[in-house]
Amino acid sequence: MNYRGRFAPSPTGALHFGSLVAALAGWLDARAAGGRWLLRIDDLDTPRNRPGAVDAIRRTLERLGLVWDGEIRVQSREIGAYRAALDALIAAGHAYPCACTRTEVAAASTHAGIEGPAYPGTCRGGLPSGRSTRAWRVRVDDHAIAFDDRIRGRIEQHLESDIGDFVVHRADGIFAYQLAVVVDDAAQGITDVVRGADLLDSTPRQIWLQRLLGLPVPSYAHLPLALNAQRQKLSKQTFAPAIDLHHDDAAVPWLRRALAFLGQALPPIDAGRDGALAFAIDHWSIARVPTADSIVEG
């Protein structure tokens, strides 16, 4: 099968070092495989979007030389596709309406899952009388869901005990990331997902949805996270500095830093941007990518 990868930033701000690591690793993995690398804008979570972020992300990728293939997929233009997937889940009895607030879930939950209180199944058998639909959840079971991450090795989860029935359409009317990503990856024909390890715990939910919707399961590689001195993931919320490039050759020091973070051989400092990228493709080795997160200098 022809390799198709993707980079799917949320337009919450400019690219920072953590997003550069994800973009570069995905781009190199695709180019080293002679494959395609697509860009998607994950802008469904509208309250988090920032004006100008999409342009800033595009410009920075171009300056870095991380050029994508084909049209950009923008989630906010694909609402019909998420709606169709939700309708299919409902029609097959896999999704059900839920009236619970976060506080009610926490109060009724019998145990902690990996992302907070596991959903106790309150609305599984139907909405409690007098209550109306807030969100839609998908039913899970407790069989193991396992996959072989190309960096982390075998990963296994039991969705019922680790997560519980999870939300696919949120109480604020927004399609949940877990549903959208599965629809998008299938629509873009993605064979290989390379992304940050903050999404490792989401992958079994995505595989579950792929099975329910009859979609192919791509291969996954989860990259170590770049942390700040407080061991927080670099992000807009933790005020990670933006990568601001005024000319193409300013890209080389950033590319070298990201390659070092990824455990890769370093191109000569005077290689020039395109020379550095060509070197990085030739020397790309996913086996050298570390599994442990690490702190990076501001």
Identity of the residue, 139 or 195, whose beta carbon is nearer to ligand GLU in the bound complex? 195
| Contact indicator for 86, 175 with CB cutoff of 8 Å | yes
CA distance 132 to 6: 38
Identity of the residue, 8 or 186, whose beta carbon is nearer to ligand GLU in the bound complex? 8
Q: Which residue is nearest to ligand GLU (CB)?
A: 42
CA distance 191 to 42: 18
Give the pairing of strands 294-295 and 226-227.
parallel
Identity of the residue, 209 or 252, whose beta carbon is nearer to ligand GLU in the bound complex? 209
Cβ neighbours for 288, distance < 8 A, ≥ 6 positions apart: 262, 263, 264
Least distance CB 222 / ligand GLU (angstroms): 10
| Local structure of 157: helix, strand or coil | strand
Identity of the residue, 9 or 113, whose beta carbon is nearer to ligand GLU in the bound complex? 9
Least distance CB 9 / ligand GLU (angstroms): 5
Least distance CB 220 / ligand GLU (angstroms): 10
Identity of the residue, 31 or 195, whose beta carbon is nearer to ligand GLU in the bound complex? 195
Identity of the residue, 240 or 271, whose beta carbon is nearer to ligand GLU in the bound complex? 240
CA distance 5 to 37: 5
Give the count of beta carbons closer than 10 Å to the beta carbon of residue 160.
Answer: 17
CA distance 184 to 73: 8
Least distance CB 227 / ligand GLU (angstroms): 15
Least distance CB 140 / ligand GLU (angstroms): 19
Least distance CB 223 / ligand GLU (angstroms): 10
Q: Is 36 left (phi over 0), alpha (psi -120 to 50) or beta?
A: beta
Give, in degrees to the nearest 5, the angle at Cα 194 between 189 and 198. Answer: 125
Site residues for ligand GLU per CB under 6 A: 8-10, 42, 181, 195, 199
